[in-house]
Structure 1
Amino acid sequence: MIGAGLLSRMRARAPEVVAFCLLFGFTDLAAVAATPSASELQAIQREQEQLLRMEEERRREQERLRKLKELQPPEPEEKPEHPSVPESERCIQVDRIRVLNADIVSDADIAQITDPLRQSCLKTNQLQQLLQQLNDLFRDAGYVTSRAYLPEQDLQDGILIIQVLQGTISNMTLGEGRRADRWQLYFAFPTSEGEVLNIRDIEQGLEQMNRLASNNATMSIEPGQEAGTSVVAVTNKTSRPFRVEIGRDNSGTNSTGILRDTANVYLDNILGINDGWSFYFSKNARGVRQTRRSNSATGTFTVPFGYSTLTYTSSYYSYKTLSEGDTQSFFYSGLSTSDMLELSHVAHRDQSSKTRIDLGITRKRARNFVDDSRQSSSRNLAIGHLALAHSRRAFDGVLSAEIRHERGMKILGAKEDDPDQDHGEAKAQFRKWILEAAYSRNFSLDENMALAWSSSANWQYAQDGLFGSEQIGVGGLYSVRGFREDSLSGDTGGYWRNELALNGIDQDWGLFEPVVGSITPYVAFDMGRVLTNRGDANEKGTVSGWSVGLRNDARYFRFDLQFSQGLAAPQHLEKESHEFNFNATLRF
């Protein structure tokens, strides 16, 4: 009877309970029940695409930094000085010069050295210089243990014979020669026992091992038991293969939370084949969790195969926020996932340059919701890419460039375009080209300090309308600084970034050295332009901004403090008077 009476009284007061809930904070019910207008829905979808694009830019920046480090050209080599040979009076008539067993270099390179000396009477010092030039040719090509010499011969017929002894590898060693050591050598080095020794192959193998921060691999070339053979002895001083970084920054947005907590986890050589594992996590640090949040996670796995590297990257991003209108509010949310498989191959390297080819496929999935209603902007994409990258030491610095082609494909469950869709609508089977170039150089001030100038440009051209995640964004931490909250985006456009930093401010910080390290002040100027946006004709124009900052690099702590200001922007773009960005990370 008591339960029945209570139920009766609750039914009688139901209208009052509903009114109380709507009045004192249970506004989600009202938000869900409302339907956004066309203009409100368009603004929400634009914000959703911007959030997905910002997350894509962060992921691309991480990938760009990883590849830029791997593409770094070799350090310049010092050429050995040749002892002078006194000139002799007697000469030998040479009509032809034959170089035997020299297939490690091209006939044209050999002829360039020998042809000028034909039909000549050569003195002893000229013969010595000829051998030195041939040995320099072998060394520049990487064959540092191969050499040319003059065998015993009769020069009555006017034919000079030069024999080449090709230096080979008799053995490669690492550590104690255990099975695990042999596996590391097998996966890292593109050469093995019995092959002609080329220092470029050895450099490649060392770089593949030293991609892992826990490795510090070096090598020495020692004489083998037989003439012309060498032992390549690799020494690897390993450190802890497990590293953790936790940090906080303010790179978020007002809609999902400015402050973010981040974490990075690195695992090295878990499988014993120089494999690298990295995991990145981030979430908004504070805010009303029910009304705004964002979470992201990225995992990357890499494994080398000599001159090739296989990379798999998987990422996840989700967000939820409340859009407050003049008369009603709406929850909008979304998630995106991305899986990329890529094979990179170093097609060529020499003493000053490196050329790489990338081939890969990416599957992207995006879901957008307004009040739990799935939007038409949700899609699945499959994107194939082919890239050619080159770096070299030039103009007293390092110059690099990459050209990349991306194409939407009808595989892996990707969305297929409607043949009758409007020209301005975004296409899943799109085509676009990306061109990147960068240059960096140090200007020495004294023995310890130097000005470091770096400049980079990125340009994208698309033949079709693009979804927000595939457009180029101009404005933000990774393009034009000074426009964190509002930026331009389009199908075709680009940006140019410049930074001047003062390196070498290293003081004796005593007990604080592990957390202070080196201090680097810097100033930057960026500018960018969007030429076309087929989905929004007004989304174009030029922006520019500048920054001044201070960063450090220490064993246990890293920070970056930056003051930025937008200088120029189109009238429709909101330009803040200034903004302050920071990033602080603890390393374990």
Structure 2
Amino acid sequence: MNVKNKSIFRVDLRARFLLIAIGSFALSAFAQGVPSAVPPQDLLRQEQDRLRLEQQRTQPAVRPSGVDLKEVLPEVVALPESPCKDIQTVTIAGAELMSDQERSSLAGGYVGKCLGSVEIQQLMGDITLFYVTRGFVTTRAYLPAQDLRTGQLQVLVQEGRIERIDMSGEDSDRVHWGMAFPGKSGDLLNIRDLEQAIDQLNSARGNAVTMQLLPGSKPGLTVVELTNRATTPVELNLSTDNMGSESTGRHNASTTLTTGGLLGLNESVSLTWITAVPRKRSAFSESLGAQLSIPYGYNTFGLRFSQSQFSIGADIPYRETPFYITGKSESTEVTFDRLFYRDQSSKHAVTASFADGDSLSYVDGELVKVASQKSKTLSLGVQSSMVVGGGLLTAAPRLVIGQRNHYALPEELLYAAPDANYQKLALTLNYGKGLKWAGENTSWNTFLQGQYAEKSLYSSERISIGGLGSVRGFTDTTLAGDSGFYWRNELALRQGADVMGRAVQWKWYAGYDIGHVTSHDEEEPDGTMTGWVLGLNTQVGPTSLDLSWTRAHLRPTGMPIDPNGQFWFRLSAQF
């Protein structure tokens, strides 16, 4: 792409605001602009993205785990050999979980045949397999005493049930079993239900619940024994870095407080605060986020709140005081996840969320209505995590339906603006795999984020490339579009040693990122950006230091870059 006008890129937002201020010297320029090009929305989006990235640092991906049902099939005990008998009817008794069609399907292959001990044993194995493959691992099929000369065969199914659930271990009162497993004594025992409950309990900070199945007081009954080897339910993460925007503060400090189960609901609570340092009105940003997650069986309910603000100041000729542009946004989101399938190596859930947002932009304290919006967003999708090729793959396709309203936007501007009621398809893919190379512990991680929209979108709904969160190697230079993607790839080498009696772990990593965006508006630039990253992450106890160098590779013609690359650091501590 050949670009003659470099100003179409989001290079230095401070300079862009200055040009607007000088050209208008009032608010009229904002009233005449197109909402999708209003820089404050880009800044607010960047602050929200930075907040989400910080929250994700404390939420590592969990590898699906569970019992391989093929390994828990009961050992086959051979029946005494006997001459075969002609069997005209086969009855499967005690199988409350089976439908009439399933009974007929299992028994049909044995009706009207001469059955000996081998065939009868095979039938009982088929019935047991029917239950075990569905997670009912304690259910068994038996052959009661009977006279097969009558031509009738009866197989008795003893469906395994829960006798009771015992909880032990430190802080066992912090675990609310009824929320994680809405079952009771006497219910059928399904190992997948119990595994889901364990995962829900352990999602809360500090819990480490394990499970053991013990024989009950009677055949067919099982005691579920749970042990919680709990640690502290509170975690504090502190960090500082130089990964902010030049316009709103390059250096940042952040604090994240995470708690688990303090309310007795197996809940997870997270509070995150990010601020630019030093706090200067001419280049300042601040974000606050709160998350609450409450599990209930196969369901997880969530509530999120975020708030961001920024301030940019610029000197203008013939004006004694600086010219300030400020913005703030708030968003509240309700989420719901429902796990509909799981096995020993995968989990699959449907997801839904509804978000209500409000963003305001000001020039010298005056509200800029054309750049201030209210939004409502509904997102529906599927989230899957599965072990593929020895690595962990997560996939999250979703449909996003949005409605956006301006604060008393004039009719002529509303006509020229992007469609306020929009739909877009979005996809997130992530794959990580450990590797062995020359005897060293290495790993490969690849991440893809993309979206597609048939109409022009507002700035806050578009996909942006360029920066540490997407295509690394670009500083304060981004390219946004209605549709597009970015793809990040990283190879890492992990090593460790004992230094002066302390364990030191470090990770060398190298990555290459690529992104591409397109827009429906012909005046908006399309383009591709790629960049490199080299880094070293060192961890000693609770302290971690990440040092990295990034450099742009490919870019649209006319886009400015730093030919020497950029150096970044992040210092964090966990308590």
**What TM-score bracket applies, with the shorter chain setting the length?**
0.7 to 0.9
Instruction: State the secondary structure of the residue aligned to 1:436.
Output: strand
* Aligned equivalent of 1:295, options 274, 281, 286: 286
Query: What is the distance in 1 between the residues matched to 2:278 and 2:366?
Result: 26
Alignment of 1:271-420 (within 5 A): 271-286=263-278, 289-323=280-314, 330-375=323-368, 376-409=370-403
Query: What is the distance in 2 between the residues matched to 1:423 and 1:117?
Result: 73
Partner of 2:444: 453
Partner of 1:530: 517
Letter of the 2:512 counterpart: F
* Aligned equivalent of 1:99, options 84, 92, 98: 92
Structure 1 residue 138 displacement after superposition: 2.4
2:186 is equivalent to residue 200 of structure 1: no
Query: What is the distance in 1 between the residues matched to 2:298 and 2:182?
Result: 6
Q: TM-score, normalised by structure 1?
A: 0.83
Structure 1 residue 276 displacement after superposition: 1.5
* Aligned equivalent of 1:575, options 547, 551, 561: 561
Name the count of aligned residue pairs. 548
Instruction: State the secondary structure of the residue aligned to 2:137.
Output: coil
Give the 3 Å change call, closer, same or farther, for CA 453–158 of structure 1 in structure 2: farther
Query: What is the distance in 2 between the residues matched to 1:66 and 1:247?
Result: 12
Alignment of 1:114-513 (within 5 A): 121-122=114-115, 124-125=117-118, 127-175=120-168, 180=173, 184-286=176-278, 289-323=280-314, 330-375=323-368, 376-409=370-403, 425-445=417-437, 449-503=440-494, 505-513=495-503
| Stretch of structure 1 that moved more, 240-249 or 325-334 | 325-334
CA contact (8 A) 2:325 2:363 kept: yes
Letter of the 1:373 counterpart: E
Letter of the 1:561 counterpart: L
Letter of the 2:260 counterpart: D
Query: What is the distance in 1 between the residues matched to 2:237 and 2:205?
Result: 14
CA RMSD in angstroms comes to 3.6
Query: What is the distance in 2 between the residues matched to 1:433 and 1:141?
Result: 34
Query: What is the distance in 2 between the residues matched to 1:381 and 1:387?
Result: 20
CA contact (8 A) 2:384 2:395 kept: yes
Structure 1 residue 84 displacement after superposition: 7.3
Give the 3 Å change call, closer, same or farther, for CA 311–194 of structure 1 in structure 2: same
Instruction: State the secondary structure of the residue aligned to 2:421.
Output: coil
Could you list the per-position Cα deviations for residues 3-54 of structure 1 after superposition, in whole angstroms to 9, with x for gaps in the alignment?
A: xxxxxxxxxxxxxxxxxxxxxxxxxxx9999448849996996432221121
Partner of 1:561: 547
| Stretch of structure 1 that moved more, 165-174 or 61-70 | 61-70
Partner of 1:23: none
Could you list the per-position Cα deviations for residues 73-114 of structure 1 after superposition, in whole angstroms to 9, with x for gaps in the alignment?
A: 225637158767779875524566443333546777777766
Partner of 2:65: 74
Give the 3 Å change call, closer, same or farther, for CA 136–46 of structure 1 in structure 2: same
Query: What is the distance in 2 between the residues matched to 1:482 and 1:258?
Result: 16
CA contact (8 A) 1:140 1:351 kept: no
Instruction: State the secondary structure of the residue aligned to 2:84.
Output: strand
Query: What is the distance in 2 between the residues matched to 1:392 and 1:220?
Result: 25
Query: What is the distance in 1 between the residues matched to 2:198 and 2:560?
Result: 49
Give the 3 Å change call, closer, same or farther, for CA 326–97 of structure 1 in structure 2: farther
Could you list the per-position Cα deviations for residues 286-334 of structure 1 after superposition, in whole angstroms to 9, with x for gaps in the alignment?
A: 36x1311111111111111111111111111111112457887632111
Partner of 1:9: none
CA contact (8 A) 2:455 2:520 kept: no
| Stretch of structure 1 that moved more, 461-470 or 201-210 | 461-470
CA contact (8 A) 2:426 2:452 kept: yes
CA contact (8 A) 2:38 2:371 kept: no
Query: What is the distance in 1 between the residues matched to 2:59 and 2:205?
Result: 15
Query: What is the distance in 1 between the residues matched to 2:24 and 2:487?
Result: 46
2:537 is equivalent to residue 551 of structure 1: yes
Structure 1 residue 439 displacement after superposition: 2.6
CA contact (8 A) 1:85 1:125 kept: no
Query: What is the distance in 2 between the residues matched to 1:90 and 1:571?
Result: 85
CA contact (8 A) 1:317 1:337 kept: yes
Could you list the per-position Cα deviations for residues 335-361 of structure 1 after superposition, in whole angstroms to 9, with x for gaps in the alignment?
A: 111111112111222233222122221
Q: TM-score, normalised by structure 2?
A: 0.84
If asked which structure has higher relative contact order (CA below 8 Å, sep 6+), I would say 2
Instruction: State the secondary structure of the residue aligned to 1:485.
Output: coil
Letter of the 1:172 counterpart: I
2:49 is equivalent to residue 57 of structure 1: yes
Give the 3 Å change call, closer, same or farther, for CA 570–140 of structure 1 in structure 2: same
Structure 1 residue 414 displacement after superposition: 7.8
Structure 1 residue 511 displacement after superposition: 3.5
CA contact (8 A) 1:417 1:427 kept: no
Query: What is the distance in 2 between the residues matched to 1:138 and 1:414?
Result: 57
Letter of the 2:523 counterpart: A
Structure 1 residue 126 displacement after superposition: 5.0
Structure 1 residue 568 displacement after superposition: 1.0
CA contact (8 A) 2:430 2:447 kept: yes
